[in-house]
Amino acid sequence: MPQGSTNILDEWQCLEEEYLKLQETHRTYLQKLEEISKLQKTCSSSISHQRRRLKEISHLVNKCSTETSDDIDGMKNRMKTRPNAFFEMEAFLPKKNGLYLSLVLGNVNVTLLSKQSKFAYKDEYETFKLCSTVILLLFSCICYFFVSYRYASEYFAHHSCYILVRYNEFISPHGHPRPKAHITSTVIYQKRLRVLIDISVNMADMDTETITHTEPMAEEEEPLFSNLDLFLFSLIVGLVIYWFMSRKKPEPIPEFKKLNTLTPTTRETSFIEKMKKTGKNIIVFYGSQTGTGEEFANRLSKDAQRYGMKGMAADPEEYEMGELSRLSEIKNSLAIFCMATYGEGDPTDNAQDFYDWLQENDDEDLSGLNYTVFALGNKTYEHYNAMGKYVDKRLEELGAKRIFDIGLGDDDGNLEEDFISWREQFWPAICEHFGVEASGDESSIRQYELKEHTDINMNKVYTGEIGRLKSFEVQKPPFDSKNPFLAPVTVNRRLNKAGDRHLMHLELDITGSKIRYESGDHVAVFPTNDSVLVNKLGQILGVDLDVVISLNNLDDESNKKHPFPCPTTYRTALTHYLDITHPPRTNVLYELAQYASDPKDQENMRKMASSAPEGKALYQSWVLDATRNILAVLEDMPTLKPPIDHLCELLPRLQARYYSIASSSKIHPNSIHICAVVVEYNTKTGRVNKGVATNWLKNKLVTDNGHKSTVPMYIRKSQFRLPFKATNPVIMIGPGTGIAPFMGFIQERAWLKQQGKEVGETVMYFGCRHKNEDYLYQEELEEAEKNGVLTQLNVAFSRDQEQKMYVQHLLKKHKEDLWKLINSDNAHIYVCGDAKNMAKDVQTTFHEIAEEIGGMVRTQATDYIKKLMTKGRYSQDTRATGNTVPHNQVMDHMALSQADRVMDKEMAERRVTVAIHNQPLHKVKLVARARGLDETMAIVKKEGATEAGAVAVAATIVAVMTAVVDTTAADTTAAEEADLLVWGSRDYGSRDEPAGDAGDNSDNNTIFVEGLGDDVSVEEVGEYFKQIGIIKVSKKTGELMINIYSDKATGLPKGEATVSFDDPPSAKAAIDWFDGKEFRGKPIRVSFATRRAEFTQRGGGRGGRGGGFKGRGGGGGGGGPNFDIKGGDWPCPNRSTVEAEVTAATEVVASEVAEVSVAETVAATAVAAAVEDSEVATRWEEEVTAETTEESGHTKC
């Protein structure tokens, strides 16, 4: 066969295959279209039914008696808002087609068509309207001519003759006799006919007179149709013919042949089919609210290529998750779940459907699924990584096989480091499991390719729109994260009277937007980066920022075609779409290292991206501690010149910022109020960093060059709501800008009082630094108290007096009244503000109130507060401050300067426990309950860059201890902290929750066993407990993680042990199964072990130092017992030694009490030694070490 024919046949074969795919796709489209139509009809009918029933109930309510109740009032209020909800629902439903579209399209709804088709039909519809208007006009003219002067006369003449004939018939009965009744009715009928004859004759005479006066009588009879009639008729016929001839003929749709396929129909939501077509075996699902989870998923999918596999990132919202059971059809398949926890332990918006599916499908069989989970959360919040833990637990319950342990990322610490550490262990384990070898390819893997547009219509270029092109020019509801509303700024004023901080109040106008909000909701705003930073980036990289570009995904099958809206310009991308102010993650440094011309810079960048300890330390100090953003990295590494398109590919998306709304829609239905503090701070490099959103909002003047300033925004609903019954008391606690939602609450309670409703007590606790500087909304709050809206206004000024006062101190002061409101009057508690310290301290205070006034023990008090939270009577709207953006409330966090972090006097009045911990690397850790455990430890790591510096910072023990003003407080503090040290604390050092089953042990994989016997061995315990699950093996020693404890006083075995399982569900199952069972013929007790902080406390302590660097002060502490517990061990509650330990700890703290002035001097000296002067630090280290060795016999740190 000729070569040309072969090529033609090959081309035809390819075309035939594509045709078969087209048939399959078209069938799928028709199926989906039918499903959508059914759903639309169901939804429309349900809305109609709801409207009808709502109307009926409204009539019933109006007919009821005039007596009202809170329930009836609440129902009426909800009934008023229901039509708006229907309106919002119908906004997503298609409108019914009109006459023309019904004729042309039939039942196909135009809202299902593409944009081009919609516009095409719109143009044709406009033509149709024009032609119809002309035709109707001509038809009306014709009717006028025919009816007015010709047919009316003939009609009346005809009927006059007819009536006259009928009248004559009645006059001449033709000799037939008629009954008397008939004669009577005939007489009446004759009278009526006579009246009609008179009317007809008069009408005919009038018409004749009109003709006589207007036209002379023609000699010949006038024809029925005049020339004008014939002309109009011909014109109408011609227009109709022209319109029909000019119509577009519909293109014939080819009839598809039916395929006899045995495989199920391919669906667009099938990730299985997509993986098969593209040859991928790993899929990474992500649940992400702020983009971090999605970023980690993309990084894992790219990593797969380096390990000889192929991966894809997937949004669970876009796929049918029921296909997880089919993943076993793909060889060496694996599903990875990067799941962030949002709010109070909830799934993210895009993972909500997946979460519901997991809950509802109890009979799903996932036995063929291999999976692993990396969870993203924040330890500051109570439900730490709840979503990730639930997915991990639930998949295992449904039969899936966990290939690698769940990873827990903490946004309050170093989320990037947590992810890197987990990933470095994850991939080797996966390669070993599937028996594959890593490719060893460490080169950069590009996901997008650059395309520059030289000749493009600028009307098709994105200029900052989030979703639809030109959506900012033509605003259409509903408004959401993909379609924000441009709200004009009507008010922008400074709230604080003085001080170096700038606190602002903004008001956004939402008139005409149909946006509805409630008190407690959040407003999300889309900020833009500072143009100064954007221009600097362009100058450093030497590029024209106004070039129009597109970054197109190299994977044609990917649902994400671009990293941000394209086509656009570099300037728009860097201004509106990319985060250029956040410290770059390690993967960004790794990818950019190849573009550094200096080998040393390349080495340092790759080192910072590694999981080695020195690399982590360098990344922590050079990037995070110095808060270097990508611009600072490029400035400090002049040899680094990456291509701007690759940089744009790597940078994360600029996320919306959320603020609690400071107004009530009852008072301000067309306005949204925002209260925020402008973020600006100095970094260690001497730069000034500014918060993106707050500085952008600060510069939003009401009018800018004659134009209104606008803010892209939308509303995010919240569960932070006032009680349903207005008579319930409310207790609001919100220091600083945490007062924002309570301004809305106060306005709403005031509105309820104006409506004549009975309102319960409204108690406000507010805190700030100085009354004359940052007392926010002072006039409004005092006015509300004066009018009786606020029954109590309690304000704590932390720095206006010598002894600091915080909101928790005021709560303790009013503990009797508060307990009555909570326990007797069903008060609702609301807390807003800092989650790390304030919210925890407030919750601890309520625990103490329940203990002191309610007569409860700590476990009962904790359970009591938890029940309030479960019932919705204890609500929190809190935010965290970490290295990365928090998941609950994304706000510009306040960054403390170096001096503030170390020297802030707030550290001096918190309960403190300090210890020096000897570790193999001789690193010193400071463990203190001052501003929270994690932050204090972070201070040591950040400020003590060297070993000598760390020792010097640890020497501030004396200074911190002197914060205890008197010995009574010292005794109390020591007793509390010693109890913490001896008994341990559950979950990361939090003393606010009980040990054992009373707390949340969803992440606890270790059990505590009592009653094992005096001579039990590790092997025996392992053999017994491995029946229920896999016991964890230490990676360092290779031995089972089973610890058998001995009594420290006697040295004899206690018959107690801790056993760590490979996963938390196994630990829970062990408790359920073995608790109360017999071991060696005796019953044993099994419970969750309680986690403790990682440290060792040495006995005794030296005296306080005197005023000055070498001064001495205070007496030496006695040598108390050692808390010699290795990092990661679990405490063994030995009740026989508790009193001794508490007494020893009390002596340690009391011995360190000295004058506060001396403490401040020592603290200042120690910090200077740690941070600035290495020689002084060395001398300080030698002195401290010598004294430590001399007094306690410890080896040199």
Q: Is pLDDT at 826 greater than 50 in this prediction?
A: yes
Superfamily of structural domain 475-527+657-718 = Translation factors (2.40.30.10)
Q: Where are the domains of the chain?
A: 1-58+75-102+111-133, 271-434, 447-464+528-655, 475-527+657-718, 723-881, 1006-1088
Q: Calculate what percentage of the chain has a pLDDT beyond 90.
A: 34
CATH number of 1006-1088: 3.30.70.330
Highest mean pLDDT range out of 57-71, 183-197, 745-759, 923-937? 745-759
How does pLDDT run across 1051-1078, given as a tens digit for each residue? 777 888 889 887 777 787 788 778 888 8
How does pLDDT run across 275-290, given as a tens digit for each residue? 998 889 999 999 998 8
Highest mean pLDDT range out of 25-34, 337-346, 467-476, 527-536? 527-536
E strand or H helix that includes residue 90: helix 70-91
The model's confidence at residue 1139, banded by pLDDT at 50, 70 and 90, is very low
Q: Which residues are annotated as a binding site for FMN?
A: 288-293, 340-343, 376-385, 411
Highest mean pLDDT range out of 49-58, 924-933, 945-954? 49-58
| Residue-by-residue DSSP string for 634-688 | HHH-TTB---HHHHHHHSPBPPPEEEEB-S-TTT-TTEEEEEEE--EEE-TTS-E
Q: Averaged over 245-267, what is the pLDDT?
A: 43
Q: Which residue has the higher pLDDT, 330 or 240?
A: 330
Q: What would the two tokens of residue 40 be?
A: 């639309």
7 exposure class (CB count in 10 Å sphere: 0-12, 13-18, 19+)? exposed
The model's confidence at residue 467, banded by pLDDT at 50, 70 and 90, is confident
Whose tokens are 């340092």? That residue is: 604
How does pLDDT run across 969-994, given as a tens digit for each residue? 333 333 333 333 333 332 222 333 33
**Amino acid 581: pLDDT:** 94
Name, in order, each residue with C-beta under 8 angstroms of 408's C-beta and a sequence gap of 6 or more. 375, 377, 384, 385, 388, 418, 1003
**Amino acid 1131: pLDDT:** 36
Q: Averaged over 292-302, what is the pLDDT?
A: 90
**Amino acid 126: pLDDT:** 67
Longest dimension (CA), the chain: 155
User: Tell me: domain 271-434, CATH 3.40.50.360, correct?
Assistant: yes
Q: Averaged over 185-193, what is the pLDDT?
A: 56
Rounded CA separation 336/351 (Å): 14
**Amino acid 200: pLDDT:** 55
Q: Is pLDDT at 481 greater than 70 in this prediction?
A: yes
Q: Is pLDDT at 1041 greater than 70 in this prediction?
A: yes
Count of helices and strands (H, E) across the chain: 38, 31
The model's confidence at residue 148, banded by pLDDT at 50, 70 and 90, is low
Strand runs (DSSP E) across 248-307, as ranges? 282-287
- The mean of the pLDDT values for the chain is 74
Q: Averaged over 197-209, what is the pLDDT?
A: 55
How does pLDDT run across 4-25, given as a tens digit for each residue? 666 677 777 778 778 877 887 8
Q: Averaged over 245-260, what is the pLDDT?
A: 46
Rounded CA separation 795/767 (Å): 5
Amino acid at 590: Y
Q: Is pLDDT at 926 greater than 50 in this prediction?
A: no
**Cα separations in angstroms, 7 against 3, 17, 594:** 6, 15, 44
**Amino acid 1177: pLDDT:** 41
Q: Tell me, which fold does domain 447-464+528-655 have in CATH?
A: NADPH-cytochrome p450 Reductase; Chain A, domain 3 (1.20.990)
Q: Which residue has the higher pLDDT, 207 or 608?
A: 608
Q: Is pLDDT at 485 greater than 70 in this prediction?
A: yes
CATH number of 723-881: 3.40.50.80
b/e per residue 76-107 (b: at least 16 CB within 10 A): eeeeeeeeeeeeeeeeeeeeebeeebeebeee
How does pLDDT run across 641-679, given as a tens digit for each residue? 999 999 999 999 999 999 999 999 999 999 999 999 999
Q: Is pLDDT at 182 greater than 60 in this prediction?
A: no
Q: Which residues are annotated as a binding site for NADP(+)?
A: 501, 737, 798-799, 804-808, 841
Q: Averaged over 64-76, what is the pLDDT?
A: 69
**Amino acid 191: pLDDT:** 60
**Amino acid 66: pLDDT:** 57
**Amino acid 164: pLDDT:** 59
**Amino acid 831: pLDDT:** 94
The model's confidence at residue 442, banded by pLDDT at 50, 70 and 90, is low
Across the strands, what pairs with 450? Answer: 551
**Amino acid 967: pLDDT:** 32
Q: Averaged over 757-768, what is the pLDDT?
A: 94
**Amino acid 556: pLDDT:** 78
Q: Averaged over 742-754, what is the pLDDT?
A: 95
Looking at residue 469, the DSSP 8-state letter turns out to be T
Domains 723-881 and 1006-1088 share a fold: no
Q: Averaged over 206-227, what is the pLDDT?
A: 51
Q: Which residues are annotated as a binding site for FAD?
A: 657-660, 675-677, 681, 691-694
Q: Which residues are annotated as a binding site?
A: 288-293, 340-343, 376-385, 411, 501, 657-660, 675-677, 681, 691-694, 737, 798-799, 804-808, 841
b/e per residue 520-534 (b: at least 16 CB within 10 A): bbbbbbbbbbbeebb
Highest mean pLDDT range out of 49-58, 520-529, 1148-1157? 520-529
How does pLDDT run across 833-869, given as a tens digit for each residue? 887 788 889 999 999 999 999 999 999 999 999 889 8
Q: Averaged over 323-337, what is the pLDDT?
A: 93
Looking at residue 598, the DSSP 8-state letter turns out to be S
Rounded CA separation 670/1174 (Å): 60
Name the H helices within 379-414.
386-397
Q: Is pLDDT at 193 greater than 60 in this prediction?
A: no
**Amino acid 889: pLDDT:** 35
1062 exposure class (CB count in 10 Å sphere: 0-12, 13-18, 19+)? middle
